[in-house]
Amino acid sequence: MKADFSVEFLEQFKEQSVALRLLRAQHFPLMTSFFHSAFIRHNRRAVPYQELIAMLDYHLNDIAEVYGEQKYPKTARAYIDDWINQKPGYLRKYLPHNSDEPECDLLPDVEKALHWVEELQGRQFVGTESRLKLLIDLIGELVQGTTDDKSLQLEALQQKKAAIEQQIEAVKQGTSLGLDDTEVRERLYLVSDISRKLLGDFRQVEANFRLLDKDTRKKITLGGSHKGRVLDIVFADQDVINSSDEGKSFIAFFELLMTQQMRDSLRQNLKQIMHHQLGHEFVSSDELLQHLYSYLLEAGDKVNRTKQQITEQLRRYIEEQSQDNRRILELIRDFEAAAHQANTPGTSVSVQHQFAEIAGIQAAIYPHLSRSLFVPKVPEQLDSDLVESAQDADVDLSNLFEVSHIDELQLQRQIFTSLDKYHGQVTLGSVLEDYPVQYGLDEVLSYIKLACEEVVPASIDTQQPQHVSWQSEPGVSRTLSVPTITFIRDTSS
């Protein structure tokens, strides 16, 4: 895409760009240092609202010890709320699915500004050879992948084959094909740079999906169409996501990330890098490379959940249409449509008549008619006669005392053991295979409870069912269909 450097565009861009507003902000040092420490340094995709306030409170205390309390006099909560509520804002506050505690995330432009500030400070080492080789390989791959000439494709493959055979022959003769220290250092910096840019791009991909979801809900509100027409709109937008270049690339990325072969290869190669002296020193000082796969999985899972919100919006719409209070829903749609039209730039809302007038700044309401009528008390009659129970009552009370106690700590230990066995990622079905169910459905629900409450970090895919089975009695098998639950090792601590 060609960049626009016209004066007219840059005048608008200066006022609308969140990144440029951050760089020109009065509290730029505070905001940049805090955003980097809270989100970028440990690659946190989202932080709970209350935890973010506590983190900023500690950050302000550290600054006050050096510059005094008058440097930034407001409270941590006031600063966080300002950064959220300012238009267009620097943080996004939202309520996660199945949670009552709001979370905050950086806007994509803010992360770009932070990386730009980091690049402005310069690098210890700027390598060019590895990037030139990468550029040459990409150009060759494009030529080979876009040509229809089978002879050219075959020739390129034969050249690669010949080069590999030469390397094999050189190793057999005792020639070392290893990299020198400069080449190793250069490639390590390139890996680190690509990894950071890839993780940063996920916020932009997620923002693009949310924007499309917002447009879909706006079409539903403003369309006023029948249910069939609205379903066509929603499914069409889902096709736009899946068939777009961005959607195709993300789907391919997530499928590749979830393959066992790719996961094992990535972990094994990182371990091999740690055996090299320069690689060990570099990776040990770079937290991102130490937990690269977990960070990629967390970022991809978060984007994938956002992508599924359009389907959730469709389900909610269908449920609303099936309710009896359709007239109330139509009025709500009218109000939403008027709000969307009033929020459109360049649109003015004309008021033809006054809806209501109040003489004063508030209305005095006397709810006399809402009070209930007097109801006389009914006298209570107590029966004092005692009834003796039978002496030989044949009642089996043993079932009252047979209460199964599920030790959730033991379940957590079993999950952690399976995580070590399966290299940091294990499904609920695999855990139950390693540790068969002993207490029936209650034990299975306890596992699901640990995943839903995120006592153990887990990814829940509601679109992909999973069947778990156990023996409730000798010879009796029970099967439960649940969403696919994948427990993930926590790398944030």
Q: Are 425 and 488 in contact (CB under 8 A)?
A: yes
pLDDT score recorded for residue 493? 47
Helix axes 309-321, 292-307, angle to 10 degrees: 30
Please tell me the least confidently modeled range out of 38-47, 175-184, 474-483. Answer: 175-184
Closest CA to 300 of 461, 70, 109, 79: 461
Q: What is the mean pLDDT of residues 412-435?
A: 85
Q: What is the mean pLDDT of residues 412-431?
A: 85
Edge-to-edge strand list for the sheet holding 103-106: 47-48, 103-106, 91-94
| Nearest-10 Cα torsion for 318, 313, 213, 32 | 160
Residues in the chain: 493
Closest CA to 486 of 223, 351, 304: 304
Residue 445 has pLDDT above 90, yes or no: no
pLDDT category at 451 given cuts 50, 70, 90 is confident
Q: How far apart are CA 413 and CA 404, in angstroms?
A: 19
Going by their DSSP bridges, the two strands 103-106 and 91-94 should be labelled as antiparallel
Q: Are 469 and 479 in contact (CB under 8 A)?
A: yes
Please tell me the least confidently modeled range out of 14-28, 45-59, 229-243. Answer: 229-243
- Residues facing residue 468 across a β-bridge: 480
End-to-end CA distance of the chain: 40
pLDDT score recorded for residue 492? 54
Please tell me the least confidently modeled range out of 104-118, 228-242, 328-342, 362-376. Answer: 228-242
Residue 235 has pLDDT above 60, yes or no: no
Amino acid at 80: I
User: Which residues of 47-152 form beta strands (DSSP E)?
Assistant: 47-48, 91-94, 103-106
Q: What is the mean pLDDT of residues 411-430?
A: 85
Please tell me the least confidently modeled range out of 53-62, 197-206, 433-442. Answer: 197-206
pLDDT score recorded for residue 85? 87
Q: What is the mean pLDDT of residues 417-431?
A: 84
DSSP SS3 for 459: strand
Q: Is the pTM higher than 0.75?
A: no
Cβ neighbours, 10 Å, residue 420: 10
pLDDT score recorded for residue 31? 92
Q: What is the mean pLDDT of residues 96-112?
A: 84
* Encoded tokens for 284: 């040990």
* Long-range contacts from 155-162, C-beta under 8 angstroms, 24+ separation: none
Calculate the average pLDDT of the chain: 76
Q: Are 376 and 384 in contact (CB under 8 A)?
A: no
Closest CA to 488 of 261, 283, 285, 257: 257
**Torsions phi, psi for 73 (to 5 deg):** -80, -20
DSSP SS3 for 426: strand
pLDDT score recorded for residue 244? 59
Q: What is the mean pLDDT of residues 55-75?
A: 90
pLDDT score recorded for residue 60? 92
Would you say the C-alpha torsion 417, 418, 420, 421 has a positive or negative sign?
positive
Radius of gyration of the chain from its Cα atoms, rounded to whole angstroms: 31
Residue 52 has pLDDT above 90, yes or no: yes
pLDDT score recorded for residue 389? 60
**Torsions phi, psi for 154 (to 5 deg):** -65, -40
Residue 236 has pLDDT above 70, yes or no: no
Please tell me the least confidently modeled range out of 104-113, 205-214, 363-372. Answer: 363-372
